[in-house]
Amino acid sequence: MTQTIVLNPALESLRSPCLLNHPIPQPSKPIKLGILASGSGSNFEAIAQAIAAHQLAAQVEVMVYNNPEAKALQRAQNHNIPAQLLNHRDYPSREALDRAIVEVFHRYGVELVVMAGWMRIVTPVLLNACPHVLNIHPSLLPSFKGIHAVEQALAAGVKITGCTVHWVVPELDSGPILIQAAVPVLPEDTADTLHARIQVQEHRIMVDAIALATAQLRAT
């Protein structure tokens, strides 16, 4: 059993439908998303499918990926979504990469950036130009920040872990928490089995988090 937890008090009335049995308010105008992806793109797929099913009032304008081998590219092509390769190895610094990302997102009119499995640390260059950035992390922050969060949870012997969607700030995995889902750690779990169960919840709360973030941004 899993549980979704909304931790932003300002959004308490917009809690996940799995808790209150009513839909999250949808804006009249879809929000324009820019996706950052590095790997399989499974979170991107969850977002794209929710949009296609009219469960999320959003439009993915472009996906930026940094790994030429990323399977996320094929997923973007399957949904006819523009994808731009910005290989981090081609840039002399994180700031240079972020400047290139900003250029792409501004060109596509992106309103909300979603780090959906983006395996790079972003800099103030990106955050100053695109102030509304969401990230998903495979732990119940503030526990187990940084890389190998699932392995950290197993090593610590915790009985419950999960995933978190939070607003991105310059400090790693430290921004205001928007929504979390708790996942029990089973005695027989390995990093692979635990990560697989966490990922199921990531796909669910990522969609809810975008709807919550959109409601917050439209209200300001």
Residue 29 burial by CB count (10 A; 0-12/13-18/19+): exposed, middle or buried? Answer: exposed
Of 46, 24, 23, whose CA–CA distance to 35 is shortest?
A: 46
Long-range residue pairs from 155-158, CB within 8 A, at least 24 positions apart, any chain = 158/185
CB 35, CB 23: distance < 8 Å: no
Q: Which residues are catalytic?
A: 137
Q: How far is CA 166 from its chain centroid? A: 8
The Cα 179–Cα 6 span in angstroms is 4
DSSP for residue 199: H
CB 94, CB 123: distance < 8 Å: yes
DSSP for residue 53: T
Beta strands in 131-205 (DSSP E): 133-137, 160-167, 177-184
Residue with tokens 């969401």: 134
Residue 90 burial by CB count (10 A; 0-12/13-18/19+): exposed, middle or buried? Answer: exposed
